[in-house]
Amino acid sequence: MDVPFLDLRAAHARYVDELKTATARVIDSGWYVMGQELAAFEHEFAAYCGVGQAIGVGNGLDALTLILRGYRELGRLAEGDEVIVPANTFIASFLAITENRLVPVPVEPDPATFNLDVARVKAAIGPRTRAIMAVHLYGQIADMAALRTLADRHGLLLIEDAAQAHGAAMDGCRAGAFGDAAAFSFFPTKNLGALGDGGAVVTSDAPLAERIRALRNYGSDIKYRHLFPGVNSRLDELQAAMLRVKLRYLDEEIDRRREVARRYRNAIHNPQIQLPMVVMEDAHVWHLFVVRSVRRDDLQQHLQAHGIQSQVHYPVPPHRQPAYAALLGGLHLPITERLHQQVLSLPMGPAMSDADVTRVIAACQSFGDIA
């Protein structure tokens, strides 16, 4: 049997009875969209993140898009404004920017942490810059203290793409509470995942929250009164009910991910494999355990030959995607392009067995041995 990259069925086994009970409760309620489960989850998730409000939406991309849309409508952003974004993020961060007719300005990461390099962010700030979108890539919080200082000095909005970082904390502050607003994804593979699509905006900015609450629901505040040309992007009752169950186990699941990461970091010693750098233990929730190797493709094949699944996050950076050929195709971002050739994500998840961790370690250790 292969070591799976992530086994969601095994992860859910621990509390599958609670998920089924919650499902039955929603079915029996006869109410499936914008009801008590959503209201309760929004309350619980805002409290967990330590922010004023959470607004459930259809997915993580919509959460990001609606934050920018809300700020546009509130006059804080205008068409053509520039938004600084990590060059090596998942493309959704870029899509939210361009969907709002804003201009993404990709900035290269610190290759050790994979997160935004603050000196490069500073250098990228120009007269049209209005916002910084930090991404807590792979589950590790970006340097938010330095980014906050920069944003304040230049009068910029600071937005978090926290889709990979539910529960990550720095100096007692959780992901989602650092920025002016933050977006979460509850895609099933995320650290807090629904059993389908889902997302949330969290913020302590009351006017922004109010606008996004309306925008996600046809721009409506009370039924059949439409204040703004909105969209339909809601977190449904079934998903909210699943997330309420899973939120109660999130911290324990993060602990298990940290234990797996600790074992990998203590036991993988191979000059061909560079381990990820950890800034602070609490600041990383190990959505992904990403190593680097100049022989990445060989390493992936070697792991496969030993029955170990691995993945690449991500094979092609946004500025090299066909979707952005016209807008960004001329950019040369050497750090990002090199990282995309070297990164490999090892199996990681809350239900990973000790035996599977041992197998992954052994296979990493034997990489490069003469056969």
Ligand X SMILES: *Cc1c(COP(=O)(O)O)cnc(C)c1O
- Write out the residues near ligand X by the rule CB under 6 A: 59-61, 89-90, 92-93, 135, 161, 163-164, 185, 187, 197, 199
Handedness of CA 209, 215, 216, 222 (dihedral sign): positive
Report the C-alpha gap between 361 and 267 in whole angstroms. 7
Nearest distance from residue 102's CB to ligand X, in Å? 16
Q: Are 244 and 29 in contact (CB under 8 A)?
A: no
Q: What is the dihedral of CA 121, 313, 363, 284, to 10 degrees?
A: 50
Nearest distance from residue 313's CB to ligand X, in Å? 8
Closer to ligand X by Cβ: residue 64 or 357: 64
Long-range CB contacts for residues 228-234, cutoff 8 Å, separation at least 24: 228/73, 231/62, 231/66, 232/58, 233/57, 233/58, 233/59, 233/62, 233/66, 234/33, 234/34, 234/38, 234/56, 234/57, 234/58
* 3-state SS class at 130: strand
Closer to ligand X by Cβ: residue 339 or 361: 339
- Residue in 302, 58, 300, 285 with CA at minimum distance from that of residue 168: 285
Closer to ligand X by Cβ: residue 90 or 114: 90
Determine the residue with CB nearest ligand X.
Answer: 60
Closer to ligand X by Cβ: residue 34 or 95: 95
Nearest distance from residue 301's CB to ligand X, in Å? 26
Nearest distance from residue 193's CB to ligand X, in Å? 9
Nearest distance from residue 164's CB to ligand X, in Å? 5
Closer to ligand X by Cβ: residue 103 or 175: 175
Q: Are strands 173-174 and 181-185 parallel, antiparallel or unpaired?
A: unpaired
> Any idea what DSSP says for residue 261?
H
Nearest distance from residue 89's CB to ligand X, in Å? 5
Closer to ligand X by Cβ: residue 143 or 197: 197
Nearest distance from residue 163's CB to ligand X, in Å? 3
Closer to ligand X by Cβ: residue 12 or 190: 190
Residue with tokens 């602990």: 255
On the 0-12 / 13-18 / 19+ scale of CB atoms within 10 A, 321 is middle
Token pair of 281 as six digits: 């233990």
